[in-house]
């Protein structure tokens, strides 16, 4: 486990140290964008010629992402309720990205709720396009959340896990991607202040725990997470358990499949971000996700409740102080 990197990044974490400018706007480090007459955000089904990004998205302050379209639509309706917003009678929210047939995107006041699919490449593509969308819309200081599910490691099913750091399957806290035939390494860093702010929003009356720790971002659900129940498996149960216990001793509390690129690309742009997942199971107790569907569905709402309560708190703070977010 590349703990040195984890430690170094932890100390350096300060939003804005990379791409963020003092006035809250953030900088995408790509000189080519300025020279383009039009930008087609292909996977979002939007482009800068046909769509007025400032009008459509200029008031966005929070972007929430999760794997499935169903979850993100449910979250959008939940937000309407939490924020006390009402749709005109007889109307529904529309999927802004429906023409892309890739991701689904809903807008509720200053919040975008978007599905990202499974794994690093899928959320990576979305992050490129969402960060450009925010840039073209002239959004200042956006905050990004992933509201997901995960496999706990020594963490009971139903527990919320907020990622403090992200590592890959080899223990490195860098997102590594081949670019022009060479590996580019970007540190995966979550905003520590945001984690504390989220912890402050935990409802003490919750019947479940909320914990923090290191997240292992795997490139696979089965062998990549040490499961015995994939189509292939070349290791024994004893080897699997030794691996899981070693991870636990190193402070790894959960497996999921997006944290590394999520932390790295947002940090690279100077955008604050947090990964909040509910554990579907404790991997020290098994591999199969066999909790009844209705229970899993209720658990899935737990990260949504925490993030919605954070958003509500931030909006109330601004109303009280008469400032813009
Ligand atoms: O439930 P979400 O948040 O989509 O994500 C988790 O679930 C998927 C695997 O089942 C992976 O994408 C993993 O990160
Ligand atoms: O075990 C799990 C559960 C959800 N998502 C994962 O990536 N792993």
For the Cβ of 304 lying below 6 angstroms from any atom of ligand 1, the answer is no
Mean pLDDT for all residues in the chain? 93
The predicted pLDDT at position 257 comes to 98
Residue listed under structure tokens 């039009």: 38
> CATH code at 286?
3.40.50.1580
* Cα end-to-end span (Å), the chain: 38
Nearest to 140 by CA among 271, 317, 31: 271
The predicted pLDDT at position 325 comes to 65
Give the ligand with the smallest distance to the CA of 224.
2
Question: Could you give the number of structural domains in the chain?
Answer: 1
For the Cβ of 149 lying below 6 angstroms from any atom of ligand 1, the answer is yes
- pLDDT tens digits along 149-183: 999 999 999 999 999 999 999 999 999 999 999 99
CB proximity list for 3: less than 8 A, separation 6 or greater: 171, 250
Residue 113 corresponds to which tokens in the numbers above? 């709720």
Give the DSSP H or E segment for 237: helix 237-249
**Strand partners for 147:** 276
C-alpha span between 147 and 203 (Å, rounded): 17
Give the DSSP H or E segment for 65: strand 62-66
The predicted pLDDT at position 2 comes to 45
Cβ atoms within 10 Å, residue 207: 7
Quote the ligand 1 centre to 256 CA distance (angstroms): 6
Probe residue for ligand 1, chosen from 68, 150, 169, 307 as the CB with the greatest number of ligand atoms within 8 Å = 150
With respect to residue 70, please indicate whether it lies within any of the assigned structural domains. Answer: yes
Is 146 part of any known ligand binding site? yes
The predicted pLDDT at position 319 comes to 80
Within the chain, how many helices (H) and strands (E) appear? 9, 12
Give the ligand with the smallest distance to the CA of 117.
1
Count of alpha carbons within 13 angstroms of residue 91, beta-carbon side:
8
Hey, which bits of 109-242 come out as E strands?
111-115, 143-152, 160-167, 174-179, 182-187, 210-217
Give the ligand with the smallest distance to the CA of 260.
1
The predicted pLDDT at position 323 comes to 74
**What is the three-class DSSP state of 310?**
helix
With respect to residue 4, please indicate whether it lies within any of the assigned structural domains. Answer: no
Is 288 part of any known ligand binding site? no
For the Cβ of 280 lying below 6 angstroms from any atom of ligand 2, the answer is yes
Parallel, antiparallel or unpaired: strands 105-108 and 111-115: antiparallel
With respect to residue 66, please indicate whether it lies within any of the assigned structural domains. Answer: yes
With respect to residue 2, please indicate whether it lies within any of the assigned structural domains. Answer: no
The whole domain housing 245 covers 10-321
With respect to residue 38, please indicate whether it lies within any of the assigned structural domains. Answer: yes
With respect to residue 60, please indicate whether it lies within any of the assigned structural domains. Answer: yes
For the Cβ of 222 lying below 6 angstroms from any atom of ligand 2, the answer is no
The predicted pLDDT at position 19 comes to 54
CB proximity list for 205: less than 8 A, separation 6 or greater: none
**Strand partners for 148:** 277
With respect to residue 1, please indicate whether it lies within any of the assigned structural domains. Answer: no
Whether ipTM exceeds 0.95: yes
With respect to residue 76, please indicate whether it lies within any of the assigned structural domains. Answer: yes
C-alpha span between 115 and 152 (Å, rounded): 22
C-alpha span between 262 and 276 (Å, rounded): 12
* CA distances (Å), origin 178, targets 59, 185, 206: 35, 9, 43
Parallel, antiparallel or unpaired: strands 252-256 and 210-217: parallel
- pLDDT tens digits along 11-36: 333 444 555 555 777 889 999 999 99
Residues of the chain with confidence (pLDDT) below 70: 1-22, 325
Residue 113's φ and ψ, nearest 5 degrees, are: -120, 115
Residue 242 corresponds to which tokens in the numbers above? 């030794």
Nearest CA to ligand 1 atom 3: 148
CB 72 within 8 A of CB 107: no
Parallel, antiparallel or unpaired: strands 143-152 and 62-66: parallel
């Amino acid at each position: 486990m590349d703990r040195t990197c984890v430690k170094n990044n932890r100390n350096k974490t300060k939003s804005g140290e990379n791409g963020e400018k003092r006035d809250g706007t953030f900088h995408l480090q790509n000189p080519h964008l300025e020279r383009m007459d039009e930008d087609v955000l292909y996977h979002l089904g939007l482009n800068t010629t046909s769509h007025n990004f400032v009008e459509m998205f200029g008031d966005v302050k929070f972007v929430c992402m999760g794997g499935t379209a169903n979850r993100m639509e449910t979250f959008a309706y939940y937000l309407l309720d939490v924020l006390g917003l009402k749709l005109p009678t007889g109307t529904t929210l529309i999927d802004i990205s429906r023409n892309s047939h890739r991701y689904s995107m809903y807008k509720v006041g200053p919040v975008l709720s978007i599905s990202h699919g499974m794994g690093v490449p899928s959320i990576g593509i979305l992050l490129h396009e969402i960060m450009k969308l925010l840039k073209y819309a002239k959004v200042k200081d956006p905050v990004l959340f992933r509201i997901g599910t995960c496999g706990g490691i020594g963490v009971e099913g139903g527990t919320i896990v907020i990622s403090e750091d992200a590592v890959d399957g080899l223990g490195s806290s860098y997102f590594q991607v081949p670019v022009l035939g060479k590996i580019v390494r970007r540190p995966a860093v979550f905003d520590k202040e945001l984690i504390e702010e989220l912890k402050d929003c935990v409802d003490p009356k919750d019947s479940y725990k909320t914990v923090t720790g290191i997240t292992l971002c795997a490139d696979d659900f089965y062998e990549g997470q040490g499961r015995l129940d994939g189509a292939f498996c070349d290791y024994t149960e004893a080897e699997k358990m030794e691996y899981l216990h070693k991870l636990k001793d190193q402070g790894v509390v959960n497996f999921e499949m997006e944290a590394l690129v999520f932390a790295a690309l947002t940090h690279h742009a100077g955008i604050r971000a947090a990964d909040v997942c509910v554990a579907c199971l404790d991997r020290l107790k098994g591999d199969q996700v066999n909790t009844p569907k209705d229970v899993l569905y209720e658990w899935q709402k737990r990260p949504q409740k925490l993030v919605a309560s954070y958003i509500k708190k931030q909006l109330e703070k601004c109303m009280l102080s008469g400032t813009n977010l």
